[in-house]
Amino acid sequence: MGLTILWLDILHPTSAFGLGVLVEETHDHATGDIPFGSVDELQAALRRQTYLTDRGLATVIHLALALGKPLLLEGEAGVGKTEVAKVLAPALGRELIRLQCYEGIDAGQALYEWDYSRQLVAARAPDLHLDDVKDLFSSEFLVERPLLAAIRAGSSAVLLIDELDRADDEFEAFLLETLSEFAVSIPEIGRVAAMRPPAVVITSNRTRELHDALKRRCLYHWIDHPSLEREVEIVRVRAPEVPEALAREVARVVSRLRDMELAKHPGVAETIDWANALNYLGVAHLDGEVAAGTLGAVIKDHDDEEIVRSRLGEVFERG
């Protein structure tokens, strides 16, 4: 099978040096050693990390690991997308490397930068010779950013690319090519490539639509809010000191809050926070008065709080 070699030249924002990223249009990554023989084993391993998955999510994680594919997770904020990578790393016995995306992030901030202050100090050394100038651009002065760190770590790492939808289209295109090869050519040092790629988890809150080209590289799963019974189980696992009756009441009320037209629906993290807060206050039974006094643990928007306060009677009248 023929391979098309592309060069993506990116001008470093504070340097005259170009950054060449060597990628191949088509490439099949070798799969790493996966310690899970089945989906059930994966579910059990994640449960030991206090993360409960349904069968669908566990299956797609298992396939992503076995096939060496990035895993793209989408869903509303607070449903546990980021947590997948956080618990998968210790479950696999790997290092977690996180690339937090934001508006304006560029290749230099994701790959590498030179430590210019240290280079300047070294350049002023009285014993510096002309032949030593090239050493100023050695790995000693290279500052690894998450993507380069993940390339060097290879299959001993889990790379979390968090909230990719916050980045712009240009960065997404750059990331697509980097994920194709997991190699980078640093002009002053040479080519750095992963023998085996890390496990990759990409998350998106869908504030914008990701491109089809990136989606085709990944396995995909939408994480929805859990069912009532699953949410109660999650609260009991993540906050075992909370009584089951209180956990059930909190999960039921949160489920009703999600039916309202709110700017930000409470996620599972808010359910756990609320249950913990109520238990700390010694609350045995959740009612409207208690809810009104503790809404700050579950509702994080002023307008949403006003809506919920005006409808608390309706929420608790439903039994």
Q: What fold characterizes domain 28-179+189-222? A: Rossmann fold (3.40.50)
Structural domain spans, the chain: 28-179+189-222, 228-307
Average pLDDT along the chain: 84
Name 315's Cβ contacts closer than 8 Å, sequence gap at least 6.
253, 256, 257, 288, 291, 308
Q: What is the pLDDT, as a whole number, of residue 192?
A: 79
- Its sign, for the CA torsion 300, 79, 250, 307, is positive
Q: What integer is the mean pLDDT of 240-246? A: 96
pLDDT of residue 21: 34
- Nearest to residue 273, comparing CAs of 297, 296, 242? 297
**pLDDT > 70: percent of the chain:** 80
Please give the average per-residue pLDDT across 195-213, as a whole number. Answer: 93
pLDDT confidence of residue 119: 64
Distance CA 157, CA 162 (A): 15
